[in-house]
């Protein structure tokens, strides 16, 4: 360890006391408040320490691997700083979990309607930094649609803010968009401000299995429907596609849509129609969310044109078969988003498959991103970035984190060619 | 550089009919709809393609010439003002709807396409482009992207950034980049989201891939009439607090009502102090109950009358009146400035009182027509711009209104942008450290500062010298 690192560690011990732990995985700081977070980063930065900011560490394997000298956990930063129910706006520290926030909001019949895996262990800062896709995207959008302000600690320990506390605001550059999905690079998200919405009176869900030959027609029907589902998902297995539509709102609005959707699926030869209501519907929704990282396998999130989903999937599966493994898929029909889960362990086979899928996706302007980096060959990049966006990202990073201390290597901005399988 | 040489060079790029340089031609380009400040560009070019835009930008980049993008010039903050002269690049000849993809509910458009034309092309197919600024009959999609434009229906449907999937941008060195995606998701930093609302300081948007949204099957539009502004603003706060989610929730005060009535004879009650336009939309099922709930809240807050538009024609007239309201104010004074503050919605009653008080103190008439549902105020200050003394009072009153918005936790702009108008107020809302981050972001895209200089960010005093071009 360099002298600077040793001195930095000593200063951190002095500042943080028991909030600094030396673990098998290295130094872990858990600052007890926002001032301590900023001071921790100032000390670390002065010592030239590379930093990895995390919540409960659920999505640390998203993006490319990072080597850090200091892990900073936001898990002690759990306070609500401001909740104005009449304005439907809430500000909280980054370490609060989605579940805890929603428990608070529920007391005023409000909600942050983002449905991601493990809300009880997903912090708000992690939600912003990783920007996982929400199952209910069709009705309620993504994290960046709800984030209206944030404060960030820059790598050298200065607190800066973007956005504000009002639901409409175009003053200055939109830092909320920049930090959403920045995966711990650029700075540490310290506080977040979300607009929220009222809860709904009723919820219900309809799911139906559609035989292979009717699947394209059913896909088009749900993609261009006049109904207003908040969840519009599909699950693909060997011979059939199961469509699920979830509705929230007034009871009569939900009922009417269940009736109309039932007719649509019956006309398409849908089988095994199931209707679930209220709690059962919400539980079924939670089960639809793909796992964070593949159990004994992998998850790749693909984005294609909605109309191309089934043909893309067919290719994904036939390529996998040729390599000797299976792929199952969950998708968000109106968005062309597909989570492909493969049961292949061998890194080289995964890489060969991914290379083909990326080429196919790119033909339609789409892409394929690894969610969960474990088990992939080191050379494989989690992302596919085009040359100019990569250059812009590199310049942004050079501006906001000139010494490259925050989650270095996450996006592999250095090279153009290297890393693409 | 000698003007004749500049004109000849640019004509070689875009053709002789696409370069304006005579003083009388340039006059139309000396401001946008914010008319208090004016600056004439050296020359205006009207490219017809992305390649031509890129060539013009590269030409400017190589010679250190400032350049400014411009759409229809309907902006309200001087965002396309040629503050340092230079080359103005007007996108108004790039108006193609390149691709209308009905199945995937998206469209690829050139930056100069007029907002309403996109909706008109999509609506026969049951779709529309949701952001609907009041200037939508004239303003361009490229300008909307630059300002992250809103409109009445963005209360429910979201502003421009929520509807843009990807952007083709000519970067300030002339390279052509695609930011975001052609599909719904992008990879890496959200360069698309950062560029939307960057007010033309990151480059020149030449194409946009935008979402189209299904037209709602059911719509109910109501006009609620109030005896006092306070009661109307209380009603707005009560609707939001009750969790009603209207598609649009707009307020007009008496001065506006009278101006609109004089122009349109819609039948607005000219004795009322304020009216609200409340629009509910969605599936027919449930819409009635939502309407009943809404009317009950409006009446409980003292609405003396709630009138429901009886058909599409009446609804159309109501929206026409609302969207033309700012124009109707032209009857009342020779000049006007439309302010654009935002406040938390619960603060509406008190802020409107403060605005009236500020108007009184400066001896200025202030009319209000605005997006009440999202707390986005548009106080319209009436004056005569030929009188410099009045102009200075208008500027001072505007600043005081924005200070009042900031004091309750608001913002100095909700949809019009900073431009040149509010650049002096950025340090009231942001700290030097906040602004430094923004400066570094601008420098990442626009390192020489040639692309739309003088907008959005105040010049850091320490950097003034180093930023001067040779």
- B185 vs A307: CB contact, 8 Å cut-off? no
DSSP element (H, E) containing A13:
helix A3-16
Task: Kindly state the tokens that stand for B242.
Answer: 């009750």
Average pLDDT over residues A212-220: 93
For residue A177, the distance in angstroms to the closest alpha carbon of chain B comes to 5
Q: What span, in angstroms and rounded, lies between the C-alpha atoms of A416 and A73?
A: 32
Residues A148-159: tens digit of each pLDDT:
999 999 999 999
A401 Cα to chain B: minimum distance (Å) = 10
State pTM to two decimals: 0.96
Average pLDDT over residues B401-422: 97
Residue B388 has pLDDT above 80, yes or no: yes
Would you give the DSSP letter of residue A22? E
- H, E, C per residue of chain B: CCHHHHHHHHHHHHCHHHEECCHHHHHHHCCCCCCCCCCCCCEEECCCCHHHHHHHHHHHHHHCCCEEEECCCCCCCCCCCCCCCCEEEECCCCCCEEEEECCCCEEEEECCCEHHHHHHHHHHHCEECCCCCCCCCCCEHHHHHHHCCCCCCHHHHCCHHHHEEEEEEECCCCCEEEEECCCCCCCCCCHHHHHCCCCCCCCEEEEEEEECEECCCEEEEEEEEECCHHHHHHHHHHHHHCCCCCCEEEEEEHHHHHHHHHHHCCCCCCCCCEEEEEEEEECCCCHHHHHHHHHHHHHHCCCCEEEECCCHHHHHHHHHHHHCHHHHHHHCCCEEEECCCECCHHHHHHHHHHHHHHHHHHCCEEEEEEEHHHCECCEEEEECCCCHHHHHHHHHHHHHHHHHHHHCCCECCCCCCCCCCCHHHHHHHCCHHHHHHHHHHHHHHCCCCCECCCCCCCCCHHHHHHHCCC
**pLDDT tens, position by position, B41-50:** 999 999 999 9
Contact state of B154 with A85 under an 8 Å Cβ cutoff: no
Q: What is the pLDDT of residues B356-384, one digit of tens each?
A: 999 999 999 999 999 999 999 999 999 99
Q: What is the chain B residue with the closest CA to A370?
A: B187
- Mean predicted confidence (pLDDT) in A10-25: 95
Task: Give the lowest-confidence range in A288-297, B20-29, B89-98.
Answer: A288-297
- Nearest neighbour of B175 by CB, restricted to A252, A369, A388: A388
**Tokens at A371, concatenated:** 């969610």
Q: What is the ipTM of this complex?
A: 0.96
The verdict on a CB contact (< 8 Å) between B191 and A250 is no
Q: Which residues is B280 bridged to in the sheet?
A: B220
On chain A, the residues whose CB falls within 8 A of the CB of B289 are: 250, 252
Q: Which residue has the tokens 């909001």?
A: A105
Chain A, chain B: beta-carbon pairs less than 8 Å apart: 256
Nearest chain A CA: its distance from B276 CA (Å): 19
Would you mind telling me the total number of residues written for chain A in this entry?
421
Residue B266 confidence (pLDDT) = 84
Burial of A22 (0-12, 13-18, 19+ CB in 10 A): exposed
The tokens describing B141, both together, are 């999609």
Q: How far apart are CA B147 and CA B416, in angstroms?
A: 6
Asked if residue A266 lies in contact with residue A218, where contact means CB atoms within 8 angstroms, the answer is no
pLDDT exceeds 90 at position B21: yes
Q: How far apart are CA A119 and CA A100, in angstroms?
A: 9
Is it the case that residue B1 has pLDDT exceeding 90? no
Band (pLDDT 50/70/90 cuts) for residue A296 is confident
Contact B193 A174 (CB under 8 A): yes
CB contacts of A257 in chain B (<8 Å) are 283, 285
| pLDDT confidence tier of residue A238, bands split at 50, 70 and 90 | confident
Mean pLDDT of B318-329: 90
Q: Which residues of B touch A252 (CB under 8 A)?
A: 285-286, 289
**Is the sign of the CA dihedral B340, B345, B348, B354 positive or negative?**
negative
- The tens digit of pLDDT for each residue in A346-366 reads 999 999 999 999 999 999 999
Q: Give CA separation, B118 vs B48, B107, B132, B324, B393, in Å.
A: 19, 8, 11, 20, 40
Q: Name chain B contacts of A228, Cβ cutoff 8 Å.
A: 282-283
Q: Taking the mean position of all CA atoms in its chain, how far away is CA A205?
A: 23
CB contacts of A204 in chain B (<8 Å) are none
Residues in chain A within 8 Å Cβ distance of B414: 166, 168-170
Q: Nearest-CA distance from A305 to chain B in Å?
A: 5
- Minimal-distance CA residue of chain A relative to B167: A389
Cβ <8 Å between A367 and B445: no
Please indicate whether, in this complex, the C-beta atoms of B416 and A170 are within 8 angstroms of each other. Answer: yes
Asked if residue B10 lies in contact with residue B87, where contact means CB atoms within 8 angstroms, the answer is: yes
CB within 8 Å: A84 and B344: yes
Percent of chain A with pLDDT over 90: 92
3-class secondary-structure state, position A336:
coil
Question: Residue A239: exposed, middle, or buried by beta-carbon count in 10 A (0-12, 13-18, 19+)?
Answer: exposed
Q: pLDDT over 70 for what percent of chain A? A: 98
What span, in angstroms and rounded, lies between the C-alpha atoms of B388 and A143? 47
Contacts with A105 from chain B: Cβ below 8 Å: none
Q: Identify the pLDDT of residue A239.
A: 78
For helices B229-241 and B287-300, the axis angle rounded to 10 degrees is 140
Distance from the first to the final alpha carbon of chain B: 12
User: Taking all residues of chain B, what is their mean pLDDT, rounded to a whole number?
Assistant: 94
Per-residue model confidence as pLDDT tens digits over A358-391? 999 999 999 999 998 889 999 999 999 999 999 9
Token output for B402: 């924005």
B415–A168: do the CB atoms touch at under 8 Å? yes
Residue that is written with structure tokens 């009635």 in the block: B288
Whole-angstrom distance, CA of residue B123 vs CA of residue A236:
33
Contacts of B156 in chain A (CB under 8 A): none
Report yes or no: B172 and B451 within 8 Å, Cβ to Cβ. Answer: yes
Inter-chain touch A396–B105, beta carbons under 8 Å? no
Q: Give the single-character DSSP code of A338.
A: E
Closest Cβ opposite residue B375 in set A167, A182, A392: A167
In this prediction, residue B468 carries a pLDDT of 36
Record: contact A255-B415, CB cut-off 8 A: no
Q: Could you tell me the pLDDT band of residue A419, with boundaries at 50, 70 and 90? A: very low
Q: In angstroms, how far is CA B419 from the centroid of its own chain?
A: 11
The pLDDT value given to residue A81: 98
Query: Residue A244: enclosing H or E segment and its boundaries?
Result: strand A240-249
Nearest to B346 among A87, A220, A385 (CB): A87
The beta-carbon neighbor of B433 closest among A160, A167, A395 is: A160
Which residue from A89, A223, A303 is facing B185, i.e. has the nearest CB?
A303
Residue A70: in which H helix or E strand, if any?
strand A70-73
3-state secondary structure of A125: helix
Give the distance from residue B161's alpha carbon to the nearest chain A alpha carbon, in angstroms: 9
Render pLDDT for B212-256 as a digit per residue (tens, 0 to 9): 999 999 999 999 999 999 999 999 989 988 888 999 999 999 999
Residue-level pLDDT at B460: 66
Is B245–A159 a contact, with Cβ atoms under 8 angstroms apart? no
Q: Mean pLDDT, to the nearest integer, of A56-72?
A: 95
**CA B469, CA B1: separation in Å to the nearest integer?**
13
Instruction: Give pLDDT, residue B461.
Output: 53
d(CA B439, CA B202): 11
Q: Could you give the strand order of the β-sheet that contains A20-23, starting from the edge strand earlier in sequence?
A: A20-23, A26-29, A70-73, A51-54
Q: Which chain B residue has its CA at the smallest distance from A184's CA?
A: B189
Least confident range from A43-47, B77-81, B436-440, B463-467: namely: B463-467
**What confidence score (pLDDT) does residue B264 get?**
86
The answer on pLDDT for A420 being more than 80 is no
What pLDDT score was predicted for residue B375? Answer: 96
Q: Please choose, from the candidates B83, B89, B66, B64, the residue with its C-alpha nearest in 3D space to the C-alpha of residue B10.
A: B89
Predicted confidence at residue B241, as pLDDT, reads: 85
Taking the CA of residue B193 and the nearest CA in chain A, the distance in Å comes to 5
């Amino acid at each position: 360890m360099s002298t600077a690192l040793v001195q930095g560690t000593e200063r951190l011990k002095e500042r943080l006391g028991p909030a600094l732990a030396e673990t098998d995985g290295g130094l872990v700081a858990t600052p007890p408040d926002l001032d301590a977070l900023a001071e921790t980063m100032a000390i670390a930065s002065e010592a030239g320490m590379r930093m990895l900011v995390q919540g409960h560490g659920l999505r640390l394997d998203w993006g490319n691997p990072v080597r850090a000298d200091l892990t900073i956990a936001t898990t002690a930063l759990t306070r609500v700083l401001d909740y104005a129910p009449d304005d439907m706006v809430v500000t909280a520290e980054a370490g609060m979990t989605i579940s805890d926030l929603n428990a608070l909001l529920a007391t005023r019949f409000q909600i942050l309607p983002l449905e991601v895996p493990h809300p009880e262990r997903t912090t708000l800062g992690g939600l912003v930094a990783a920007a996982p896709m929400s199952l209910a995207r069709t009705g309620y959008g993504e994290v960046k649609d709800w984030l209206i302000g944030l404060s960030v600690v820059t790598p050298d320990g200065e607190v800066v803010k973007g956005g504000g506390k009002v639901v409409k605001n175009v003053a200055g550059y939109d830092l909320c968009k920049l930090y959403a999905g920045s995966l711990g690079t650029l700075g540490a998200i310290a506080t977040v401000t979300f607009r929220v919405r009222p809860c709904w009176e009723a919820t219900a869900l309809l799911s139906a299995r559609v035989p292979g030959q009717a699947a394209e027609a059913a896909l088009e029907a749900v993609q261009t429907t006049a109904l207003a589902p908040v969840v519009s998902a599909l699950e693909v297995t060997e011979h059939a596609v199961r469509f699920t539509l979830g509705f929230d709102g007034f009871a009569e609005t939900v009922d009417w849509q269940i009736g109309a959707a039932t007719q649509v699926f019956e006309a398409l030869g849908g089988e095994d129609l199931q209707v679930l209501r209220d709690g059962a519907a919400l539980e079924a929704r939670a089960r639809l969310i793909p796992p964070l990282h593949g159990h004994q396998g992998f998850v790749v999130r693909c984005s294609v044109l909605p109309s191309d989903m089934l043909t893309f999937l067919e290719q994904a599966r036939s390529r996998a078969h040729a390599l000797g493994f299976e792929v199952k898929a969950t998708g968000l029909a109106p968005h062309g988003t597909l989570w492909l889960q493969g049961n292949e362990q061998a890194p080289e086979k995964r890489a060969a498959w991914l290379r083909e899928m990326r080429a196919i996706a790119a033909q339609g302007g789409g892409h394929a991103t690894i969610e969960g980096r474990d088990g992939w060959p080191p050379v494989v990049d989690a992302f596919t970035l085009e040359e100019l966006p990569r250059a812009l990202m590199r310049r942004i990073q050079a501006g906001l984190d000139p010494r490259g201390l925050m989650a270095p290597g996450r996006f592999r901005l250095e090279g153009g060619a290297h890393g693409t399988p | 550089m000698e003007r004749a040489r500049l004109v000849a060079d640019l004509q070689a790029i875009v053709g002789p009919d696409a370069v304006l340089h005579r003083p009388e031609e340039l006059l139309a380009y000396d401001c946008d709809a914010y008319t208090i400040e004016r600056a004439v560009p050296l020359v205006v070019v009207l490219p017809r393609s992305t390649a031509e835009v890129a060539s013009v930008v590269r030409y400017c980049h190589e010679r250190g010439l400032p350049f400014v993008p411009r759409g229809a010039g309907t902006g309200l903050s001087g965002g396309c003002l040629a503050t340092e002269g230079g080359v103005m690049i007007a996108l108004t000849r790039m108006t193609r709807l390149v691709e209308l993809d009905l199945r995937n509910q998206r469209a690829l458009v050139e930056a100069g396409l007029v907002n309403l034309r996109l909706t008109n092309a999509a609506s026969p197919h049951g779709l529309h482009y949701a952001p609907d600024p009041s200037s939508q009959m004239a303003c361009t999609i490229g300008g909307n992207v630059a300002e992250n434009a809103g409109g009445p229906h963005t209360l429910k449907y979201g502003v421009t950034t929520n509807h843009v999937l990807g952007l083709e941008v000519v970067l300030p060195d002339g390279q052509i980049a695609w930011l975001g995606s052609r599909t719904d998701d992008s990879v890496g930093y959200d360069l698309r989201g950062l560029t939307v609302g960057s007010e033309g300081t990151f480059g020149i948007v030449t194409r946009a891939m935008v979402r189209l949204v299904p037209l709602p099957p059911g719509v109910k539009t109501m006009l609620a009439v109030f005896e006092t502004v306070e009661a109307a603003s209380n009603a707005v706060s009560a609707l939001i607090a009750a969790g009603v989610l209207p598609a649009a929730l707009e307020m007009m005060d008496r001065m506006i009502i009278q101006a609109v009535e004089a122009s349109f004879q819609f039948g607005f009650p000219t004795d009322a102090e304020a009216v609200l336009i409340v629009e509910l939309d969605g599936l027919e099922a449930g819409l009635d109950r939502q309407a009943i709930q809404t009317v009950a809240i409006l009446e409980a807050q003292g609405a003396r009358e709630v009138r429901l538009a009886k058909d599409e024609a009446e609804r159309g007239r109501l929206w026409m009146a609302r969207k033309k309201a700012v124009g109707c104010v032209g009857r009342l004074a020779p000049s006007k400035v439309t302010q654009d503050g935002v406040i938390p919605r619960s603060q509406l009653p008190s802020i409107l009182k403060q605005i009236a008080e500020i108007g009184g103190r400066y001896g200025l008439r202030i009319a209000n027509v605005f997006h009440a549902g999202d707390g986005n105020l548009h106080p319209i200050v009436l004056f005569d711009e030929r009188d410099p003394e009045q102009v200075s009072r208008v500027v001072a009153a505007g600043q005081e209104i924005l200070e009042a918005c900031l004091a309750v936790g608001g913002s100095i702009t909700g949809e019009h942008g900073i431009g040149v108008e509010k650049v002096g107020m950025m340090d009231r809302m942001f700290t030097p450290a906040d602004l430094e981050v923004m400066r570094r972001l601008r420098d990442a895209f626009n390192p020489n500062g040639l692309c739309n200089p003088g907008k959005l960010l105040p010049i850091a005093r320490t950097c003034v010298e180093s930023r001067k071009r040779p």
